[in-house]
Structure 1
Amino acid sequence: MEAVTLDQGGVFFLYGFDGTGKTHLWKILSAVIRSKGQIVLNVASSGIAALLLPAGRTAHSRFGIPLNPDELSTCNMHPGSDLAALVAEASLIIWDEAPMMSKFCFESLDRSMRDVIPRHKDKLFGGKVVVFGGDFRQVLPVITGGGREDITRASLCSSYLWDEYIDASVAEEIKSFSEWILRVGDGFEEQNDPNFFQESAILCPTNDDVCAINDYMMSALRGEERVYLSSDSIDPSDTSNHDSSVYTPDFLNNIKISGLPNHCIKLRVGAPVMLLRNIDPNSGLCNGTRLQVTQLADHIIEAIVLTGHTLGQKVYIPRLSVSPPEGKFPFRMRRRQFPLMVSFAMTINKSQGQTLSGVGLYLPRPVFSHGQLYVALSRVKSKAGVKVLIVDKEGNPQKQTMNVVFKEIFQKLIK
């Protein structure tokens, strides 16, 4: 608060695991500063986490950060633009769930803010007060095709921002639960309660596991099933050198990739679904929002929101033209489909930033990334709220599983 009041600038990091009250602190800071007529920009690394913040937006949406930034990237923020004027007038920027983003996102914002606030060009983030928050025990940046070393190098704690400026402080932990969380990997007793999995969120390590559970639950759900097929084509604006005739409709229809809705979506009234695109963050419709289908039509789907500040609100989801991330294929395709997937279960990565009353953790295979097991278990506030089912390749129950932790990340936090 002193840094904001005296306009001193500075970069801070609030380090605390899920449930220590980081979101509550962000709300208090925002309310106090806005009560004085000053501007606070609340952003988060994921859409579902942004919904928990007052007037929250994703960082990419707010600052125009490139989808695939590198060491030379800048934001889509130009001197004299409305966005540049807003950032220049802001007294505080709060960025939640920071550790899950690549360091190049923060460095891109630093370069752009120095550019649009020239009087403080020599200061970090143009002399503004920026507060990051998060937990390095949770899932780190996703690096396509990268290994452990690549992920570590891409983390915020490997950036010059951390080495030179960030003052990291660790919040006081809730002893009874945190000690149990930090001992994950020591082994769990197999717990099996079918009703729990029907009434609570089920988390799995991979999309294949999620699809298996969703297919089983959909088959048990009563009501008329409707099938929606997408229209897939090569993007006419793609001028790259390739023979589009090679990529037949059958080939395009069979493409399944994270973040892209399937060619074929089967739905019933009452089924829970998850949004795969940011449609209207102000209304709670962003990537990761869970909904429940109430009506099915040919060109639109009616649903109610199950999470966030718009809980219970009725919304309408249209078909959208979406494309896979750049670099996945030697061509640019478009898929016109409802941006939805059935969501009786979700991946552990998708659950990051959410607080749930109950979690069923299904592990038909071990977790494969840093912090996944920790993220899954920390979605709840007590042991009673989590049940774990671990099975081997033959389906036999097990009492222990692997816990993946990149300890070099924690070594970087301590100078």
Structure 2
Amino acid sequence: MTLEELQTFCLIEIEKLLQNNGKSLKDYAGMPLPNVDLISAFSNSMVVREMQYDVSEMLAQHDDYFAQLTAEQESIYHAIISRVLNKEHGFFFVYGFGGTGKTFLYKTLSTKLRSERKIVINVASSGIASLLLPGGKTAHSMFNIPIELNEESVCRIRVNSQKADLIRQADLIIWDEAPMTNKLAFEAVDRTFRDLMKVTSISNQNLPFGGKVIVLGGDFRQVLPVIPKASRAEIVMASINSSYLWKHCEVFNLTRNMRLESVAQNSDMDELRLFSEWILQVGEGKCGTRIDDRVFVKIASELLIPITDDPITDIVSVIYPNLSENLNNSTYFQDRAIFAATIEIVEEINDHIVNLLPGEMKEYLSSDCICGTDANVDIDLNWINVEFLNQIKCSGFPNHSLKLKVGAPVILLRNIDPAGGLCNGTRLIVHSLGRNVITADIVSGSNVGDRVFISRMNLIPSDSGLPFKFQRRQFPLLLCFAMTINKSQGQTLSTVGLFLRRSVFSHGQLYVAISRVKYKKGLKILLCDENRPEDDLTENIVFTEVFNKIFGMFIYLL
């Protein structure tokens, strides 16, 4: 953006503020007025923000990225770029496990088009994944996807809105971590885009996503869409590759592990290769022993933590050694965590560790109430008192009682400021505990080291399982010495402890847990499930049928 363009944009924004208060720039002598020739180009602030990139910087980054592309990545790059430059529609899926360079490919595509002043919209299914993309946002916030979806849902985007205009002007849309999102969300976006794009050409209403170039990406070995109390068949049918859209999708398969090439020593490379191959076999259900229609995976002895009468203490001592001595070490909690299958076990571990920390514990209590729209539902309200609401616990939702200490790691449960690194899944370290504000330092994502201030929010759970909606005013935080396996998706750590008092219970959970680390030495597993047939076996659940539908009409094995 040139200096004149920047000045025009600022003057337009000032004019809008003045007009809201009955004034104008013309009312002030000596004030410059916006350049009339540029006003139309800056009437949409969302478009302006998507084009606020230094072209020369984007070009330099692209040249650097492009020189590092593998043959696989370069072939995909040219296929997508040609569709954009030729103004042809395209629907692609980039399939690959962690380490194959999907994110690197997205960055190369983005810098290429932005260096030519084209618009690229980068979104992801989770807040953590969106932080890895340049200018990334969550798909739900970008496209206004409804929380409750059905076969007829559409996104809440008006045809004449600024967001609709941005979508029409977008040259490429990239959506990462697609397999974890319900197919109904993609279908809602598809219906919305067809409606928006028919304004430019009526034929667009017959094309997938209205003729836009869409690139999805992800790994079907990971956790699929979460549907409470759903059957195996229902979860598989909710995946994007079960949608009517999938027959239009061209699938690219990345197979080259880039992490292997960053290892200097041959011995380390061999160990990493074997570890990566084992993780893939677990993810695809190609290893293990079948016992009574259940598949159990053997865990290598060097990964196992010996158990005593107190397994929580056992895993804490291994993953968080010398805890008290490292409280002032900002990097200590940055790359380590314990994973467990259920929120109940996670809370037990977190409560145990926070009590080991020195210092005063501060407790924050929430304010709970029934939402006004549900105050008169056809149920007996006499048994719904405040004490009952206080006892409700939901996944991804803060508890009524939040007990914290200075120095404790916490995880954010809502998207507050994705551009500033504050999104659902961001990990932070508590710096100070005020009455109305908690000060914390970011230790994950792209804004590591930033100090932020978190206040209470009004929160409404979307899946409480109750016949009414209620509101909880609380800090959107949870302790995260330990976290659920599902919550860990998108995180990359150096030290992971997998605590399996209860074995995994859904597709991809074991794969996600063991693939959060880059190297074998960073993974430790404690097995204490009483139902395991042998001491070194744990159950693995893989819905293999989901893989059978990935490669349809088009397949690119590069």
TM-score under structure 1 length normalisation = 0.96
Partners of 2:157 and 2:163 within 8 A in 1: yes
- Equivalent residue, structure 2, for 1:187: 298
Match of 2:517 among 380, 383, 403: 380
- Equivalent residue, structure 2, for 1:269: 406
Unaligned runs of 5+ in 2: 1-80, 258-272, 283-287, 289-296, 307-314, 321-331, 553-558
- Equivalent residue, structure 1, for 2:230: 146
Cα deviation digits, residues 23-67 of structure 1 (max 9, x gap): 111111111111100000000001111111111111000000111
- Provide the secondary structure at the position in 2 that maps to 1:237: helix
Matches within 5 A, 1:16-165: 16-118=96-198, 119=201, 120-162=204-246, 164-165=247-248
**How many residues get paired?**
414
Partners of 1:234 and 1:244 within 8 A in 2: no
- Equivalent residue, structure 1, for 2:86: 6
- Please give the root-mean-square deviation of Cα atoms over the aligned residues, in Å: 1.8
Cα deviation digits, residues 164-190 of structure 1 (max 9, x gap): 211112112435443111333431122
Q: 2:486 & 2:138 partners in 1: Cα distance?
A: 16
- Provide the secondary structure at the position in 2 that maps to 1:87: helix
The range that moved more, 325-334 or 308-317, is: 325-334
Cα deviation digits, residues 272-314 of structure 1 (max 9, x gap): 0011111111111111111110000111100000101110100
Match of 2:319 among 179, 191, 197: 197
Q: Structure 1 residues 135, 395: CA separation in 2 closer, same or farther (over 3 Å shift)?
A: closer
- More helix per residue: 1 or 2? 2
Partners of 1:229 and 1:265 within 8 A in 2: yes
Partners of 1:320 and 1:339 within 8 A in 2: yes
Partners of 1:306 and 1:312 within 8 A in 2: yes
Q: 1:196 & 1:3 partners in 2: Cα distance?
A: 51
- Equivalent residue, structure 2, for 1:260: 397
Unaligned runs of 5+ in 1: none
Partners of 1:75 and 1:109 within 8 A in 2: yes
Q: Structure 1 residues 305, 388: CA separation in 2 closer, same or farther (over 3 Å shift)?
A: same
- Provide the secondary structure at the position in 2 that maps to 1:270: coil
Quote the offset at 1:326 in angstroms. Answer: 5.6
TM-score under structure 2 length normalisation = 0.72
Matches within 5 A, 1:178-327: 178-184=276-282, 185=288, 186-188=297-299, 189=301, 190-191=304-305, 195-198=317-320, 200-238=336-374, 239-325=376-462
Bigger radius of gyration, 1 or 2? 2
Partners of 1:74 and 1:112 within 8 A in 2: yes
Q: 1:46 & 1:114 partners in 2: Cα distance?
A: 25
| Higher relative contact order, structure no. (Cα contacts within 8 Å, ≥ 6 residues apart) | 1
Cα deviation digits, residues 356-385 of structure 1 (max 9, x gap): 122111111110010111111111222122
Partners of 1:391 and 1:397 within 8 A in 2: no
- Provide the secondary structure at the position in 1 that maps to 2:410: strand
- Provide the secondary structure at the position in 2 that maps to 1:401: strand
- Provide the secondary structure at the position in 1 that maps to 2:192: helix
Q: 1:168 & 1:266 partners in 2: Cα distance?
A: 47
- What amino acid does structure 2 have at the position aligned with 1:221? L
2:307 pairs with 1:170: no
Partners of 1:349 and 1:372 within 8 A in 2: yes
- What amino acid does structure 2 have at the position aligned with 1:292? I
- Provide the secondary structure at the position in 1 that maps to 2:175: strand
